[in-house]
Chains A and B, each alone.
Chain A
Amino acid sequence: MQSLLLSIRLAACVSAILFVVGLPLAYGLAYTRWRGKFLVESIVALPLVLPPTVLGFYALVAMGTQGPLGRFWQATFGHGLAFTFTGLVFASVIYSLPFAVQPLIASFESIDHKLLDASAVLGADALRTFRRVILPMSTPGVVTALVLSFAHTLGEFGVVLMVGGNLPGSTRTISIDVYDHVQSLEYAEANRLALILLAFSFVVLSIVYAVNRRIGRRVWAPWPAK
């Protein structure tokens, strides 16, 4: 159970960070045009195609005592990043980035551009337009982004294995735990955890799809329109 709680804590941290990082990133990718944009788009999409072990390997190297991120962290906070919960969060944020950014881009781009023009003509600057028009109209995208980054982080294995190691309570996530149990031929224990993860993921995804369907009729409004 400890591993499940750890996984949930990790997924919650990662979703929160991705929400903050993802909104401006998606805004930039959806609404602005600049020369190097395709490069950033590729970088954001990389975790979709790279094997988690490759991503995890580079994350480990970067966080290691010789890596740039690791040295910076060591100098600033007095301890390393590799094999810590924080390190896991870092790697997971990158690993789940496309799952947060792409739903946001898709829903930003689906907004009729005339609405943004109307907002500007009515005196609103970009920030107000974002807050009052783009964000409330992107609720399904935001919910999808949050839930997908949460669910994706919850289910990650390769990256955690590379970066986190297997320390109970700080880096042993549920997927690692399942793997360990299988390795030790404890199938009953593995099955219990796997089933929890399966049920949890299914419920979460059902919520995403249900919300996406219901939002069309605006049954609930998470963003008060004032």
Chain B
Amino acid sequence: MAGEINAVALSLCIRMERRTRNAASFVLDVSLEIPPGITILFGTSGAGKSTLLDCIAGLVRPDAGQINIDDATVFDSENHVNVPPQHRRIAYVFQSLALFPHMTAEENVAYGLPHLPTDQRSARIAEVLQAFRVENLRRRRPAEISGGEKQRVALARSLVTLPRVLLLDEPLTGLDAELKASIVDDLRAWNAAQKIPVLYVTHTREEVDALGERVVVLDRGHVINQGAPHEVLDAPRRKKLAQAAGFENLLDATVVELREIDGVMRVRLAESSSEIEVPLGYAAPNDRVKIAIRAGDILLATQYPVGLSARNILAGKIVSLEPRGSMVVARVQAGVSFTAHVTPGATRALELTAGKPVWIVLKTHSCHLLSE
């Protein structure tokens, strides 16, 4: 970090074992260096993402290890250092946001600044309210404002204290992509000046793509990969990662032909004669690859679809239909077995039943390439 005097970095190396009542104990064992800027912490629920943030914030005490913010040690088990959360100067936005319901937006934002003289305090509050576009909500209570506004107020409340590190635990879940992007832009703009490490937890792939400068993948308490999002999650992807990201279909395939100019390649699925087109990857003809497809990305058609941009259309037959909550899980045999999610309404409209012939429609970019 030479040359960047402002830049703060977070480094940690912690281990923690949490015994649960039903035998299987959870171990969090993580070593990380977080540079300034947004780092995504990616993983399934239960991977230990929130626990890791709790440890950094000081809300949970790790069994062993060290946590440093720049040169300051906030936790060191060997030297019995454990700075309490109120003295760590780490901001933390929870998934629930935890805005104080009995205070107005402005009072919420002012909460972290009790020791400032009034004029400085108002200036700081005004600045951050403006940066996150919530000046007009000053006098409203959390119950009176929308979800996205609450998220902005929560960010403003955390950042007004000029923290050394910002921890975000899925703070933007439930927002549509556009709103999310605009909040993230404001966050980026703010951090351009502050240059602090921002650790952003998410379990959705879309957020990684939207935010990512850097991603750390956590799986069952361990860091299994880190780097730039496209390197970590796209290129030769690991099967474990695909499962972590929730792909229901993992298919064995053999590369048939590369079409570099179109950025695609054709693969043959397992032992079948079905061929599909997938995004180009690091592979050569006759290489064995794995293709991952989300069940929600698969379309079913009862007639051969025409005039469609999707490149892959496979003939198949429904094996089973199983209602699960608000959707129906369809198993379709089309050379290989596919799992698709359809809505109960579509199931009725298309009169889907077991044994009915259907066409499977796959967009090229819904097929994710994994290397062995």
The chain A residues found within 8 Å of chain B, CB to CB, are: 112, 114-115, 117-125, 128, 132-133, 136-137, 218, 221, 225-226
Contacts and interface: CB of A to CB of B under 8 A. Distances in A.
Interface stretch (B86-94, B127-135, B353-361): B86-94
Interface of B: 57-59, 84-92, 94, 96, 98-104, 107, 111-112, 114, 141, 157-158, 161
Overall SS of chain A's interface: helix
Given A136-B102, A225-B102, A226-B107, A122 B112 contact: yes
Contact of B107 (A115, A119, A120, A225): A225
Given A128-B114, A226-B107, A120 B59 contact: yes
Leading 4 A-B pairs by shortest Cβ distance:
A122-B112, A118-B98, A114-B98, A120-B85
B112 A123 contact: yes
A108 to B, nearest CB: 15
A225 B103 contact: yes
Contacts of A121: 57, 59, 85-86, 88, 90-92, 158
A112 B102 CA distance: 13
A101 B91 CA distance: 34
B96 A119 contact: no
Interface centre among A119, A120, A225, A226 (most CB of B within 10 A): A120
Contacts of B89: 123
A180 to B, nearest CB: 48
A120 B87 CA distance: 9
A133 B98 CA distance: 11
Contacts of A226: 107
A128 B113 CA distance: 12
A56 B91 CA distance: 53
Given A120-B58, A120-B86, A121-B59, 11 more contacts: A115-B98, A117-B94, A117-B98, A118-B98, A118-B99, A121-B86, A121-B92, A122-B112, A124-B111, A124-B112, A218-B102
B85 A137 contact: no
Contacts of A120: 58-59, 84-86
B21 to A, nearest CB: 17
Nearest to A218: B102
Contacts of B101: 137
B92 A118 contact: yes
Contacts of B91: 121-122
A226 B100 CA distance: 13
A218 to B, nearest CB: 7
B109 to A, nearest CB: 10
A214 to B, nearest CB: 14
B239 to A, nearest CB: 36
Given A225-B103, A225-B107, A117 B59 contact: yes
Nearest to A137: B102
